[in-house]
Amino acid sequence: MQRHPATLIRVLFCVVALMAARFVSAQPIVLMTGGAAKLIYLPVILADQLGYFRREGLDVRVVSAPAGIDTSTELVAGAIQGAVGYYDHTIELQGRGLDVQSVVVLGQSAGLIELGRRGGAMATMADAKGRRLGVTGFGSSTYFLTRYLVERAGVPSGEYTVVPLANESAFEQAIVDGKVDAGMIEEPTATRMLTRLEATPLVDMRSVKDTRAQLGGAYAGACLYMQRDWIDAHEDATARLVRAVREALHFIQTHDEAAIAAVVPAGIRGDDPALYRQALAIAKPAYSPTGLMPADAPSTVLAVLARANPEISERHIDLARTYTNRFVAAAPAGAPDDRAAGSH
């Protein structure tokens, strides 16, 4: 039996149309984290692994870079659609005349800890004079927070050295080998180093309470932020991204560490499941339960950034343009499976 060419063309057209209809966006949406293994970015990893992005009709590719400053660079260059990094980047970028906006908050703490070399010369940040301090990179959140803490302790810039360390392995090795005297890191690296007695805590900002005590108010750590032009041109896709991430935040709130860890690929989780669960237990209380920006967090972050970065002037920053709660506010509460039972 022969088929008419026009019939075959129509059939092929229908097949292609049906395949394309699976996804809302014609092109893949690329989200870049500042390190996939870092627990501060876990909600986006979970949204991907649990299929929440696909359920929203999105073709999302989650990729990784060594540090948050790399994600903001790629976002501004237009190489990615969303940056999974620290909220302070939205303020820093606005200070450079760039318009980006957080659409969903992942963490309500800084999620970081300053570790000193075990047996080293630093007991507090006031001991930083003449010392070498590790950060993930120049211009990173750890860079500005380190400067804030050291200079608040009375040690002016120029009297200590900041050392960029490309990744968690380099950080750990630099502490152990004495190439740096102290450094700022997140989970699960922090728990691994403390468990191995490789370092001692100097300033802990992993919890909401400790972050507030150290930085003076409510805080926003990791978030998903995007260029405002892209958000305005893709409001439906942005709303779907936010729904998926909010579902992942709900998953964290309603599951224990073992269940959460089971979703994370082994290549990200590492080869010590017990240590990963231990680190997750420390990090878990600081995840946002809703994705909303905490009311006073933007002003706290701006105050910290302005003190650490002389190029940032508080009176020239429009905080209202650095974040929005409207997509989170419009998202249904809860995970997809319990919505039937169940708002800048």
Q: Cis before residue 273, ω within 30 degrees of 0?
A: no
Phi-psi region of 32 (alpha: psi -120 to 50; beta: other; left: phi over 0): beta
Q: In this predicted model, what pLDDT tens digit does every residue of 146-163 receive, in sequence order?
A: 999 999 999 999 999 999
Of 14 and 284, more confident: 284
**What integer pLDDT is reported at residue 167 of this predicted model?**
87
Domain 21-109+220-270+287-338 CATH (choose: 3.40.190.10, 3.40.390.30, 3.40.50.11540, 3.90.1200.10):
3.40.190.10
Two domains, one topology: 21-109+220-270+287-338 and 112-205:
yes
Q: Is 7's pLDDT higher than 50?
A: no
Q: What is the mean pLDDT of residues 179-187?
A: 98
Residues facing 30 on adjacent strands: 61
Give the chain's mean pLDDT: 90
Q: What's domain 112-205's superfamily in CATH?
A: Periplasmic binding protein-like II (3.40.190.10)
Q: 212-271, pLDDT tens digit by residue?
A: 999 999 999 999 999 999 999 999 999 999 999 999 999 999 999 999 999 999 999 999
| pLDDT for 185 | 97
Q: Please, which pLDDT band fits residue 315 given cuts at 50, 70 and 90?
A: confident
Judge whether 138 and 161 are in contact, CB under 8 Å: no
332: pLDDT strictly greater than 90: no
pLDDT computed for residue 68 by the predictor: 60
Domain spans of the chain, in order of start: 21-109+220-270+287-338, 112-205
